[in-house]
Amino acid sequence: MQTARTLELLRKSLAELRQDGGSVALVPTMGALHEGHLTLVREAREAADHVVASIFVNPRQFGEGEDLDAYPRQLQRDSELLEAEGVELLWAPTPDEVYPEGYATNISVAGVSAGLCGGDRPGHFDGVATVVCKLFNQVMPDMAFFGEKDWQQLAVIRRMARDLDLMRPHVDAIRGVPIVREEDGLAMSSRNAYLSARQREQAAALPKAMRDAIAVLAEGGEADRPLGNLREALRVSGFQSVDYAEIRDADSLAPLARDNGNSRLFVAARIGGTRLIDNMAVS
């Protein structure tokens, strides 16, 4: 596996990779890789001739007081994992390479970025859209793979790619991959590493409370009561706060008062200093 840390080297390595005319899949990550990321790589390998992964902890998607400095960085370990999965090229730029002196451009996607994580983390999706647009322009992949754990992020990226004609015009260029869960149901996340042993045990209440709420929501009644019960279940299990617990249309992300036959439950909740997010299909 080659590792490029400058745009010049990236371009040279991509030219070599593309010599056989095969397709290229991109798996963008911020590193601290877990089984969820490796599943993206495996899906990418199935779908394309060559896989390029990127690791870049993007400062523009972290707000003030968020965990940019604490975010786990383990390039050596991540490189070994990617190489073992058959990634041929790793793009691991420095912040200066991505945002050189004088950088002044921002991409903002309206609509699907409103509310949920977009409400709690102002500017977050601008940072995501901006860096993903840059990654697409840098690597020019035929397709790109993202985890469905960040369902709203996926919707933002799909909207941006359509609006800005970023990928080749086949519908399925932006691929979402289902959430990978631990045995107790907790969605895998690089941020799970922040949890103490006790918090990690308590965190399993999140997927359980969501499944319990879905059992009721799927009957089609008003969402208020099951969502209230979900908040209470998390509180008694040791979560400090619930940033949001909502059902929304899975595609448009329009807020819903009850299941519409295509809805998902979205939750963000805090345990210790750690903010966990998850989402599940209601119907």
Total site size for ligand PAF, rule CB under 6 A: 10
Q: Which amino acid belongs to residue 141?
A: P
Instruction: Give the DSSP letter of residue 255.
Output: B
Minimum CB distance to ligand PAF smaller for 58 or for 279? 58
How many whole angstroms separate alpha carbon 57 and alpha carbon 88? 20
Q: Give the per-residue SS3 of 227-253.
A: HHHHHHHHHHCCCCEEEEEEEEECCCC
Residues that are catalytic: 37
Contacts with ligand PAF in 229-268 (CB under 6 A)? none
Q: CA angle 94-100-106, nearest 5°?
A: 105
Question: Taking the complex as a whole, how short is the minimal distance between the CB of residue 57 and ligand PAF, in angstroms?
Answer: 8
Show the site string, 11-40: x = touches ligand PAF by CB under 6 A, - = not: -----------------xxx----------
For the chain, how are helix, strand and coil distributed in percent, rounded to 5? Answer: 40, 20, 40
Question: Taking the complex as a whole, how short is the minimal distance between the CB of residue 68 and ligand PAF, in angstroms?
Answer: 12
Chosen residue from 150, 246, 259, 278 binding ligand PAF by CB under 6 A: 150
Pairing state of beta strands 24-29 and 50-55? parallel
Contacts with ligand PAF in 130-149 (CB under 6 A)? 131-132
Question: Taking the complex as a whole, how short is the minimal distance between the CB of residue 125 and ligand PAF, in angstroms?
Answer: 9
Minimum CB distance to ligand PAF smaller for 147 or for 207? 147
Query: Long-range contacts for 43-48 (Cβ within 8 Å, ≥24 apart)?
Result: 43/145, 43/175, 43/177, 44/143, 44/145, 44/175, 45/85, 45/86, 47/23, 47/143, 47/175, 48/22, 48/23, 48/24, 48/142, 48/143
Minimum CB distance to ligand PAF smaller for 138 or for 230? 138
Q: Which residues bind ligand PAF (CB under 6 A)?
A: 28-30, 58, 61, 128, 131-132, 150, 153
